[in-house]
Amino acid sequence: MSFLMIIVIASINCGASDVVTDLNLITWNPDDTLVSNGDARKVPSINSVSKVLDTLRVFTRRKKNCYSIPVTKGDKVLVRASFYYGNYDGLSNPPEFNLHFDGNFWETVETTMTDVIRYEITYVSKHDFVSVCVAQTRPGQFPFISSLEVRKLDSDMYREVDESRALILLRRVSFGASQGLRYPNDMYDRIWKYPADIVSRVKNSASPVDTTKTPNKPPSGIFDNAMTGVGTTVGLFLGTVNPLDTPIYANMYFSEVTSLGTILKRSFRVYGKNSTAPSDWLPSSTPISPPYGSVIVQSFYNYSVNSMTDIYLGAYDNSDLPPIINAMEVFQISAVLTDGTNTIDVKALSLLQSTFDVLGGWSGDPCLPAPYSWDWLNCSNDATPRVTSLNLASFDLSGSLPDISSMDALLIIDLHNNSLSGAIPSFLGTMPNLQRLNLADNQFSGPLPTSLSTNKKLNLNVNGNPSLCTSGNSCSSTRGKKKSSILPIILGIAIPVFVLFWVAAGVFIVLRKKKRAANINMPATVVTRENGNPYIVQRTSEGLENENAGSPVPQVVVSPQHVA
């Protein structure tokens, strides 16, 4: 179990909700902390194959979806992705899609109704993370993933391979085994399959075999048995290699199963038979005579396969015994791996993601492989791409825009219809290649920076920011002057009005008192009508006094008089 702690970086059970431990004592964790997109699904129980492969995560949105797993930069890692369709959606339509790693194309995944499909790759990490992505290639066929594994290998394993390239596994087989072998029998958790058509299996009497000095540190279990041919006149068939654009790298492991003494001899060579020379076996190695009790490894590096090629072991002329083999690994050597998107842009994008949570769901290389950039980016076609546009309209961004001035290859920044606030950053006007900047319909405030207002080559849109002053740097100072100059005017008007109001009120009160006194000393007249004719009616001062006392008021009619 201590070995597992050394070599396991991640065992991810995609779409699962609980931690599970499998029959190989490997602990698998759910993927919900590693990915924010996609839907967890489950294979119908009738199609169940294992606790790990019965769940999956399917992605119905975005061009590509990625898992990013922390590693140590410079580590040699083994990455394995597994896919089991199992008719999880009931459509009986197993999808096809692309698989990427660290911005490089890995493989086209072709799933089936019933098969578990696995892809494995080994390489030296150029970053402090491993990214594995699935990308949709056909309408209506959605990518998914069942499990993802990352293991650490020793740096001296598969050392023939240039560190700028990856090894894509084509086949790994333990020929003498009757069942598959992986951890804990292989401390690096490589999966060694067994062939279904064993010609002849022989047990190794020297088991266990000393493998301490064997290249690539194969597990001792693959040497417990071996596969051997039926005679010296018939080649021992190992498999077929399809034509490849890049060369292959193969390791073959041999150990003699019995002590031959000085009388018997086993000697053979590796041959390739292809369609360009159907009548000839093409020798591909020097004669091999396996040692008893230890191991010899025959490696082929940069072996080109231009046509369908069958691999055989053929007995050498002086051999008394047929060929024998314990195990074999065959890899395709990749093209030179990309360094990824320009690190300056990657750092700035990381700043954007840490500022705006809504952007945190994107991972993997921002631009690669083309054309699978993040949905809100456009990138150049350079070997080391640069980000040329940010298309973040209607992304519900809020708060202040961080300093992304280092992204000096940007041609377009579109941030319209968000809730960005605060002052518009002046660095936007100094970005050397920026041609279009759309900040419309946000909540920016304050003056428009001079770097933008005087930038004649920039197509600028700041409409829909009601608190933004677009008159230049003088905007803030003008506003201040208006506020300071308006105050004396307001005070100059308000104070006299206040004084006049109280003066008028005082005059009104004085006049009212005088009028009341006059009414008391003078008879009052009112107009009344009798039979439609107007009269002048006079009330005496006595009557007023009586009225004030609440008694009837005597009235004296003086004379009829016409009232105009």
For residue 253 the two structure tokens come to 């492991």
Mean pLDDT (the chain, rounded): 85
Q: What is the CATH number of the domain that holds 201?
A: 2.60.120
Instruction: Please give the distance of CA 2 from its chain centroid, rounded to a whole number.
Output: 33
Q: Please work out, in degrees rounded to the nearest 5, the angle formed at the alpha carbon of residue 221 by the alpha carbons of 219 and 225.
A: 135
Mark whether 30 and 127 lie in a shared domain: yes
Average pLDDT of the segment spanning 548-559 = 38
Mark whether 287 and 401 lie in a shared domain: no
For residue 200 the two structure tokens come to 């002849």
- DSSP label of 173: E
**Strands lying side by side in the sheet with 524-530:** 524-530, 533-539, 555-560
**Domain final position from 442, 469, 496:** 469
Q: What is the CATH number of the domain that holds 436?
A: 3.80.10.10
Asked if residue 548 belongs to a domain, the reply is: no
Angle between helices 541-549 and 474-521 (to 10 degrees): 110
Question: Residues 76-102: pLDDT tens digits?
Answer: 999 999 999 999 999 999 999 999 999
pLDDT at 30 over 90: yes
Q: Where are the beta strands (DSSP E) in 345-454?
A: 377-379, 387-391, 398-399, 412-414, 419-422, 436-438, 443-444, 446-447
Mark whether 68 and 147 lie in a shared domain: yes
The per-residue DSSP string of 437-475 comes to: EE--SSEE-EEPPHHHHT-TT-EEE-TT-TTEE-S-THH
Residues 6+ apart with CB under 8 A from 489: none
Question: Are 67 and 9 within 8 A, CB to CB?
Answer: no
Asked if residue 400 belongs to a domain, the reply is: yes
**Domain final position from 469, 492, 515:** 469
What is the distance between the alpha carbons of residues 184 and 141, in angstroms, rounded to a whole number? 37
Give me the domain span that covers residue 135: 8-164
Mark whether 208 and 140 lie in a shared domain: no
Mark whether 324 and 371 lie in a shared domain: no
Asked if residue 506 belongs to a domain, the reply is: no
What is the distance between the alpha carbons of residues 497 and 44, in angstroms, rounded to a whole number? 86
Mark whether 178 and 152 lie in a shared domain: no
Model pLDDT, residue 280: 64
Asked if residue 283 belongs to a domain, the reply is: yes
Mark whether 96 and 18 lie in a shared domain: yes
Model confidence band, residue 512 (pLDDT cutoffs 50, 70, 90): low
Which of 252-261, 302-311, 473-482, 521-530 has the weakest average pLDDT? 521-530
Model confidence band, residue 6 (pLDDT cutoffs 50, 70, 90): low
pLDDT at 480 over 60: no
Mark whether 108 and 240 lie in a shared domain: no
Asked if residue 343 belongs to a domain, the reply is: no
Q: What is the CATH number of the domain that holds 25?
A: 2.60.120.430
Mark whether 200 and 232 lie in a shared domain: yes
Asked if residue 221 belongs to a domain, the reply is: yes
State what percent of residues in the chain have pLDDT above 90.
67
Instruction: Identify the residue with better confidence: 477 or 444.
Output: 444
Asked if residue 341 belongs to a domain, the reply is: no
Mark whether 195 and 300 lie in a shared domain: yes
Number of domains in the chain: 3
Question: Are 414 and 392 within 8 A, CB to CB?
Answer: yes
pLDDT at 221 over 70: yes
Average pLDDT of the segment spanning 469-495 = 49
Asked if residue 24 belongs to a domain, the reply is: yes
Question: Are 265 and 320 within 8 A, CB to CB?
Answer: yes
Instruction: Identify the residue with better confidence: 475 or 381.
Output: 381
**Domain final position from 164, 185, 206:** 164
Mark whether 133 and 192 lie in a shared domain: no
Mark whether 405 and 365 lie in a shared domain: yes
Helices (H) and strands (E) in the chain, counts: 5, 37
